Amino acid sequence: MIELGWVPFFQQQLTLEELETGLPGRVMGVERSGVTVAYAGGERQIPLGGRWFQLDAEARPTIGDWVLLNTEGTQIERLFERKSVLKRVRAGTTSEIQLLAANVDTMFVVTSCDEDFNLSRIERYLTLVLDGSIQPVVVLTKRDLVETPEQLVDQVHELRTGLIVELVNALDRSTLEGLNVWCGQGQTIALLGSSGVGKSTLVNTLTGSQVQITSSVRDSDGKGRHTTTSRSLHLLPQGGLLLDSPGMRELQIADVGSSVSVLFNDIEELVSRCRFSNCAHEQEPGCAVRAVIEAGDLDARRFNSYLKLNREEVHAAESIAERHARSRNFSKQVRQVISQSHKKHRH
């Protein structure tokens, strides 16, 4: 099962009994009422019973998860602990968490060199990836559409020290050599990026087959058409696995903890030097941030991106906490109703 990404991290989670009677498998696809699981004996679709849908989204199987099947391979007994997870707040006004992928080793953050190129969007993706404990690699596609794509590479490098950036033409396999190092046996790679940046073309070129339908960018607004409609894992000729997911117009961050601070550690250091701890970094005297921006040593766009992501992170954390509190209160009320019902029956 090494070819599916089975490593000692998961092997060590099995009990002696499970080693003899259980059947580990990996979730290769997610449907509305079930999942497709690959295991040592093959692959099959397994329906999810009602008990799974009573759990929070984070406790249900998602693409890339390892699960333990019963001896017959017809039912999921439990989830394995994840070594990484990518999640977001579901699009819309709710604060529900949506899992995008689990147990991903490397994330190809894909954007194109044309009108889609947006540093703030890349920062948003990186925040999610870093929070998920995943190695990010920024992939700039459509290098042939601009005269000096190297300038865009330099701009992305400035977002984070040591950030890996690859400049490619998704239609030309020879430009993808830098990506192959991440695609070895048992390695899981995922793609993250908006529609129209060439993700599906990249999937097809990396896999060497037409596994995703490709489509052109609309002339009316320069936005990409959605060509990938579901999340799925594909085996790569290099031995790894590649996960593709639908392009996302709306990407709200979840409760990402310290990942905003990790991505913007230089700005966090400046903030700590401000004269007042509650500095809004606008007109306050002794503001270290404004001084550096005015001196031209900090990009105002990057600082505004930091502020925006920080606000979203705080809002997401508060919304998630409120949802958990409501869930706890509801569970408490249910237990009280059941307890009162039992008392009535005894009398």
Please indicate, yes or no, whether residues 299 and 184 belong to a single structural domain of this protein: no
Structure tokens at 129: 């990836």
Reference 249, options 222, 224, 218; nearest CA is 224
Establish how many alpha carbons lie within 13 A of residue 214's alpha carbon, considering only the half-sphere containing its beta carbon. 15
Please indicate, yes or no, whether residues 30 and 59 belong to a single structural domain of this protein: yes
Instruction: Determine the Cα–Cα distance for residues 111 and 143; give it in Å rounded to an integer.
Output: 11
How many residues are there in the chain? Answer: 347
Reference 112, options 206, 228, 191; nearest CA is 191
Instruction: Determine the Cα–Cα distance for residues 64 and 233; give it in Å rounded to an integer.
Output: 8
Cβ atoms of 222 and 115 within 8 Å: the answer is yes
Range of the domain at 308: 259-328
Domains in the chain: how many in total? 3
Average pLDDT over residues 111-137: 90
Confidence of residue 248 (pLDDT cuts 50, 70, 90): very low
Please indicate, yes or no, whether residues 239 and 94 belong to a single structural domain of this protein: yes
Percent of the chain with pLDDT over 90: 35
pLDDT digits (tens, 9 = 90+) for 149-198: 999 999 999 998 899 999 999 888 899 999 999 999 999 999 888 878 88
Which positions ≥6 away from 61 have C-beta within 8 Å?
27, 30, 35, 48, 52, 67, 76, 79
Average pLDDT over residues 86-105: 78
313 or 306: which leads in pLDDT = 306
CATH (domain of 220): 3.40.50.300
- Please give the C-alpha separations between residue 266 and each of 82, 158, 164, in angstroms, as whole numbers: 30, 11, 18
Among 81, 114, 133, the domain-final residue is 81
33 or 326: which leads in pLDDT = 33
Confidence of residue 221 (pLDDT cuts 50, 70, 90): very low
Average pLDDT over residues 252-267: 68
Q: Is residue 185 part of a domain?
A: yes
Please indicate, yes or no, whether residues 48 and 135 belong to a single structural domain of this protein: no
Please indicate, yes or no, whether residues 6 and 153 belong to a single structural domain of this protein: no
DSSP code at position 332: H
CATH (domain of 33): 2.30.30.140
Cβ atoms of 91 and 23 within 8 Å: the answer is no
Instruction: Please give the full DSSP string across 206-246, using - where no structure is assigned.
Output: HHTS--S---PBPTTTSPBP----S-EEEE-TTS-EEEE--
Reference 303, options 263, 273, 275, 257; nearest CA is 263
Please indicate, yes or no, whether residues 61 and 29 belong to a single structural domain of this protein: yes
Please indicate, yes or no, whether residues 118 and 188 belong to a single structural domain of this protein: yes
Please indicate, yes or no, whether residues 69 and 214 belong to a single structural domain of this protein: no
CATH (domain of 319): 1.10.40.50
- Helix intervals (H) in 83-214: 119-131, 149-157, 177-180, 199-207
Three-state helix/strand/coil letters over 16-48: HHHHHHCEEEEEEEECCCEEEEEECCEEEEEEC
Cβ atoms of 61 and 67 within 8 Å: the answer is yes
Average pLDDT over residues 228-232: 56
Amino acid at site 107: M
DSSP code at position 129: H
Rg (CA), the chain: 23
Q: For 43-78, give one letter per residue: b (16+ CB within 10 A) or e.
A: eeebebeeebeeeeeeebbbbbbbbbbeeebeebee
Please indicate, yes or no, whether residues 54 and 91 belong to a single structural domain of this protein: no
Average pLDDT over residues 201-213: 76
